[in-house]
């Protein structure tokens, strides 16, 4: 009887978020090893040298200037390999946030799976996202795209961390990601309609308190 009650006991949001976090984190070492092996030590394509030269002197590259990315790149501007390592970190975090987002939508579909199988599926998705050609190529050169992907995936992950309702804390954090992204690449404005949509949902449902 006690075992049945334990199985039916509702899982808190904090525990559920912690479980999703642990599942995604286990796939990250695989991505880190692959990105490390494939990091270039010299320019391949793109504006990497321009970004490095501007970061070393506190200058501004071509418009729109990418101020936030340039500030983060400055400590890593000593070599192309160091700058590439920073962008690889952004790419890994983008895959991490994307896997949390996908895991949130897939959780109901995996309810019939055993815990071990569901765990394997989510880790496999994380690796597939991280090793996708688009994200990998953007993360192994000095460019703004991996950083932008990280901010966009982070914002989406926060906006849809709870599919039923959203609180002010989540809305504020998502807006913070959008604000950071405005200092990097204007593609981040595509999140503004989603932010507005979830804001309207929170007013309609009345779930505006802290979660």
pLDDT at 102: 78
pLDDT at 90: 93
pLDDT at 157: 86
For residue 77, which of 56, 106, 101 has the smallest C-alpha distance? 56
95, 97, 101, 107 alpha-carbon torsion, rounded to 10°: 80
Taking the C-alpha atoms of residue 123 and residue 181, their distance in angstroms, rounded to an integer, is 27
Q: How far is CA 180 from CA 48, 63, 66, 183, in A?
A: 21, 17, 11, 6
Taking the C-alpha atoms of residue 95 and residue 117, their distance in angstroms, rounded to an integer, is 20
Say which residue the tokens 């949001």 belong to.
13
What's 173's DSSP letter? H
pLDDT at 15: 56
Q: Which residues of the chain have pLDDT under 70?
A: 1-25, 46, 107-119, 163, 206-211
Its pTM stands at 0.77
């Amino acid at each position: 009887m006690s075992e049945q009650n334990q199985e039916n006991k509702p899982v808190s949001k904090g525990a559920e978020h912690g479980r999703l976090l642990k599942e995604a984190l286990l796939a990250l070492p695989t991505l880190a090893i692959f990105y490390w092996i494939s990091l270039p030590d010299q320019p391949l394509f793109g504006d990497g040298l321009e970004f490095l030269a501007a970061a070393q002197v506190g200058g501004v590259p071509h418009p729109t200037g990418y101020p936030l990315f340039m500030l983060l790149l400055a400590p890593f501007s000593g070599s192309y390999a160091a700058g590439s390592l920073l962008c690889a970190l952004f790419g890994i975090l983008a895959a991490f946030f994307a896997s949390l987002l996908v895991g949130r939508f897939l959780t109901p579909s995996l309810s019939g799976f055993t815990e071990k199988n569901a765990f394997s599926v989510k880790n496999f998705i994380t690796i597939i996202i991280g090793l996708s050609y688009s994200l990998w190529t953007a993360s192994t050169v000095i460019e703004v795209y991996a950083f932008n992907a990280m901010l966009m995936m982070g914002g989406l992950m926060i906006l849809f961390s709870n599919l039923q309702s959203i609180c002010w804390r989540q809305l504020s954090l998502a807006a913070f990601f959008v604000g950071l992204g405005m200092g990097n690449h204007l593609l981040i404005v595509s999140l503004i309609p989603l932010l507005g949509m979830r804001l309207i949902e929170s007013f309609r449902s009345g779930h505006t308190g802290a979660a």
